[in-house]
Structure formats: structure tokens, C-alpha cells
Amino acid sequence: QKTLNQCRSYNICFHHLLLLNIKQSLREGNSLLQECNRAHEWFRGMNRRQRIVMAVIIGGSLIYIILTQTLLVFSSPPGEPTEPEFRKTCSSVLQKISKNKVVEEDKSLPVIYVVTPTYRRPEMVAELTRLGQTLTMVPRVHWIVAEDSNTCTASVQNILERLGLPYTHIASPMPEVYRKERYVPRGVSNRRASLEWVREYGEDTGILYFLDDDNAIDIRLFEEMRTTKKVSMWPVGLIGEYTVSSPVVKDGKVVAFYDGWPAGRKFQVDMAGFAVNMGFLKSQAAKQEKVQAAKQDKKHPKVTMPYIAGHEEDGFLKSLNMGISDIEVKAEGCTQILVWHTQTIWNPSHALWLDKHQTDNIKKLTDNMRHLGMIK
């Protein structure tokens, strides 16, 4: 408390304290106090004009940060859909296939339900091919690929059939009202549809994991998450201002989060940074629905993911009615990075002139590229 009070007496520290987590500042009291003392001496050495300019800069920064954070946290998004969301399960295969034969897997292993939202773009097939081939190296995986579309794409279906993984292919377009938002909540409709599917068909002993098509993952992480009892977490690399998003762990327990974008979130994690036990998810969902029925309140919170860009993970985890004490720590005490938020360079879709190539291979090549969504 002494450290915090000392800092409050120095105007130059206001901006610094606003940017830092207050609890972290208290734990780092000695170093912060020294920094404040140096800043205070520097401030005292200014002339009157310099102090006025500095005060204007600090005041403007404070106002800007407060306004932007308020808009992010308290702005009013459209909320839950007012109309039923479109869902279409195009195909589903529950067994692993290799060379047209069923592959027997160890059924004592919990199934990992990997949910991957995707949408049509030139990079889509490349992303799904890379990720899918990684999943073929993991036993007892069921891949749920959900497209932001009214129909399922043939090229995605071909990938799923060729890889031979147990899979479910879903079409689940985002409701149009959310496409008008300044920050579009991409992938939410797909994950919500996948949540409905796993709640109905998923095994209670299984594990739910959200893995986007632009992620890269070390297959060792799958074996770590397979033992999840409620909710497990680990670091995600190549994301945000800190280049990592991770739980803060002390004595084997999560005590806070290390993330470059707090934004009022209780659980400051990336989508690829946690897994949920299916039995726990189903039990929490049943409890929420029981309360909802008893209160006859359709607005009562339920286990789902909100259509709020940047708050999808936090909203979903809070809907599970869990606390930080429920989190299980993985990846060697959250000291190792086993999944990365990589991003493929955007490639615009071009229209090609092929008048001179109607009789050679380029005609067929570009037809196939068009089928894959790579060109117009």
C-alpha cells in the first residue's frame, strides 16, 4: 500500500499505473518505487512550460485509454441472436479410415474433439491440409470442421475424406446482424454449432479443444490435454503485444494471466490456450438449463460462446461457471510453448487471362485452382 500511495503522489506515474496490472505493481513494489522516484526527479527538473506540455500529454493519454477501454468493455453488441441460427451437418464419420479399411484405435483413450472454424478464401485449403495432416499423427481425434457458409465446400469435404480421420463437416454461417459490427466476431457461429454437436454426440470422457486453421501445434500437447478433468490451460505463442498469452502460475496454481490485451476479461487466454472436459461441460450446461427452466428466464446465462469480438474465450469460460482455481496447468507449469498463433500471408484472389492456354495443362491447372477457391 505504501508503494501505491507513493506513486499516486507523482503525476508522472499515473499513466504507468494505468497500463500495469495493480496487483502486479504491488508485488513488484521496490522496483516500481525506485522507478517512480527517478521519474519524480526528472519531472522536478522540468521548467514550467515543459511541465504543462507533459501534463497535457499525460492527461490526454489517460482520457484516450479510459475512453477506448470503456468502449471495448461496455459497448453494446447485438447480443444473442433473435432468430434460430442456421445449422447443417453435411457429413460425419466416426471411425478412422486408412486404405479403405477401418483402423482400430485404443478406446481407453479419451477422444479429443478438435473444433476448427473456417471460411472460403484462397488460403483455406492450404491451411486445412497442413492442420489435418498434423491431426493424422494423433490417436483418437475427431475433427469438427465448421464453415462460415450455408453450404459445405466440396474441396473441404475432399480433404476430410482423403485424410481418413473421424470427422464432422458442418455449415454454420454467421448471422448477418453480426457482419455489420465494427469488430466482426469471426468463427463464433461455427464454434457454437460445434458445441451443439459435441453436447449431443460427444463422449462424456472426451476433451473439447478449439484449434483454428491458422494455428500450428506440437502433437505432444494433445497427450497433455487428454487428462483434463475440468479445464486445462497452457501458453500460446506468437500472439499479441507480448508475443505470448499465458496463465501466471505460482506453486502449481494459476493466479493471474500474462496477456497484452486485458480489456476487462476475467480469463485472458487465446482460443488455442485451453481444453475442456466434455463431462464437465455437459454437467455445467445441464445445471444452467435447469436454473433457466426453474426461473422461466430465457435470458439466463447458458453454456455458449458470445458474439463479442475479442471476448469469445472469456465469455465461453465464464459461461461454464468456473473459477481460476478450477484451471489445470499443463506444458510443464506453463513454461513451454506447444501451440502457435501463426498466420498465412493474405493472397488476393485474381482473375486470370487464359486465352493462350486452352489446349495445355494450364487450363486444367487453373480449373483446379478455381475449385479450391484460389482464383476467381
Contacts 24+ apart (CB under 8 A), 288-297: 288/319, 288/321
Question: Which residue type occupies 117?
Answer: P
Rounded-to-integer distance, Cα 128 and Cα 341, Å? 15
Which element (helix H / strand E) includes 363?
Answer: helix 361-371
Which helix H or strand E contains 282, and what residues bound it?
helix 278-295
Which entry of 127, 147, 313, 328 is annotated as an active-site residue? 313
Cβ(320)–Cβ(280) below 8 Å? yes
Element (H, E) at 113: strand 112-118
- 212 belongs to an annotated ligand binding site: no
For residue 257, give the 3-state DSSP assignment: strand
C-alpha cell belonging to residue 110: 479419451
Catalytic: 35? no
Of 236, 175, 229, 168, residue with least CA distance to 202? 168
Q: Are 329 and 249 in contact (CB under 8 A)?
A: yes
Give the position of cell 457429413.
91
Tell which residue, 117, 63, 93, has the closest CA to residue 166.
Answer: 93
Q: What are the distances in angstroms from CA 339 to CA 221, 222, 270?
A: 8, 10, 11
No. of helices (H) and no. of strands (E), the chain: 14, 15
Measured at the alpha carbon of residue 332, what is the angle toward residues 327 and 338, in degrees to the nearest 5? 90
Known binding residues for Mn(2+):
214
Catalytic residues: 313
